[in-house]
Structure 1
C-alpha cells in the first residue's frame, strides 16, 4: 500500500444517544410511569430528526420500557413491584453465577470501583449512584470469563436502573450496599466461589426486597400489580 489511509472519525451512534437519553430520563423519574411520548416532541427537545427517535422508541418498546399509548404515540410503562421482583430473581441467578466463576479465577476487582461507589453514595446524584452500581456488577460479569452473562444481564439492567432510580431518591442503605460489594469482591479475590455466590445472591435478594418495598410505598396498590 503506497498511500497512507486517512483517519476515520466515527460519530457516536445517534440512535443509541437518543436511547440512552430516554433510558436515563425514565430511570431517574424525569419521565414518570404513564408519561406520554411523541416523536415530534422528543426530536424537538433533543434537537435531532424523527428517524433516530423512532428507532430508539422501538428499542425501548422491545425492552418493555414503553408501551403503545391510546390514540397516538407511546407512554412510559408502569413500574411495578411484582415486575421488579421478577427481574431481580433473574439478576440474582446471573450475578451469583458470575461471582462464582470470577472466584474460581481468583480475579481481583479494581478497588477504584468501590471508591467510586462510596463517593457516589455520599452525594445526591442518583444517576451517578446507578452508574457506579452498574459498573461494579459489570466488572464481576467481565471477571467471570463468560461473555454470555453480560449479554444476558443487559436487558434486565435497563429495568433495574429504573427501579433503582425510584428507590435511591431516599434511602438509608447506600453505604450498606457498598459494604456488601466490598465483601463480595474480597470473596472473589480469595477464590471462595461458594461464599461469593451466596453473598451475591443475598445481595440481590436484599436489594429486591428494599426496592419493591419502596415502590409499594411510593406508588401504592398500583405498584403491587404485575
Structure 2
C-alpha cells in the first residue's frame, strides 16, 4: 500500500469549497451547477469537480434535476424537523456530560469558562456585525465546543452531517426572524449552567434553545418570509 497523502486532495478541496458555498447560502436551493463554470471559478480541471459532485450527491446537498443536470438540493421542511430532532438529543447529551465533568473537576471548569467566553465574545461580535453566514459559523463553533468538552468524541462526528443542512436554514432564520441577540443570550446562559456543573439546567436550556430555533423556522415558513430557502417556496412547513 502507498502512504496516504498528508494534505487534502484536489477533489477534497473542491468538495469542501462547494459544500461551504451551499451551507453558507451563496449557492441557493435550485441553483443549476455547471461543472465547467465551477471548474473555472475554482481554477481546477473538470475531473475534481465531477468527483466532488458525486460526494455532494451522496450527502444529499445536490440532486439530479431532469435534463438540466445537477442543482443545489431544495430543503424539505419535514426533513429539517428530523434533523432538529437528532440535534436536540445530541445537544442535551453533550450538555449533561459537560456539566458533569465541570462539577467533578475545578481545572476543567476553569478551562470551560475561559474557552467558552472567547467563543461567546467572537460570536456576539459577529452577530452585531450583521453577517448572518458568519454568525452561523460562530453558532456552530459554540455547539461544537460543547460537543468536544463533553468528552464523547462521537457526539461531534454524529452531529456534523446534520449541520450541513441546519446551517442552510439557520442563515435564513437569523435574517428573517431577527434572532441573533437571543441566540447568543441563550448560549451564554447555557455556558453559565455548564460551568456551574448544573446538568439539569444545562440540559433544559439546550433543549429550549434547539426547539426554539426549530419553531422559529416553522413560523417563518408559515408566514412565507423564508420560503425562498426551500427552493422557491414549493415546500410547505411540516405540521
TM over 0.5: same fold? yes
Equivalent of 2:39 in 34, 39, 43 = 43
Shift of 1:225: 6.1
Query: Superposed, which structure 2 residues align to 1:11-26 within 5 Å?
Result: 11-26=7-22
Q: Which has the higher helix share?
A: 2
Structure 1 range deviating more: 22-31 or 215-224 = 215-224
Q: Give the gaps of 5 or more residues in structure 1.
A: 1-8
CA distance in 2, matches of 1:28, 1:152: 20
Q: 1:219 corresponds to which residue? A: 227
Normalised by the length of structure 1, the TM-score is 0.88
Kept after mapping to 2: 8 A contact 1:102/1:145: yes
Native 8 Å contact 1:19 1:57 kept in 2: yes
What is the TM-score with the length of structure 2 in the denominator?
0.84
Give the equivalent residue in structure 1 for 2:106: none
> Cα RMSD (Å) of the superposition?
2.0
Between stretches 168-177 and 213-222, larger displacement belongs to: 213-222
1:161 aligns with 2:167: yes
Going from structure 1 to structure 2, the CA distance change for 1:174 and 1:163 (only over 3 Å counts) comes to same
Aligned residues: 218
Equivalent in 203, 206, 212 of residue 209 of structure 2 = 203
Residues 145-156 of structure 1 aligned to structure 2 (within 5 Å): 145-156=151-162
Q: 1:97 aligns with which of 93, 96, 105?
A: 93
Q: Identify if the C-alpha distance between structure 1 residues 211 and 14 changes in structure 2 by more than 3 Å, giving closer, same or farther.
A: farther
**For residues 68 and 181 of structure 2, what CA distance do their matches in structure 1 show?**
44
2:172 equivalent to 1:176:
no
Q: d(CA) in 1 for partners of 2:183 and 2:143?
A: 12
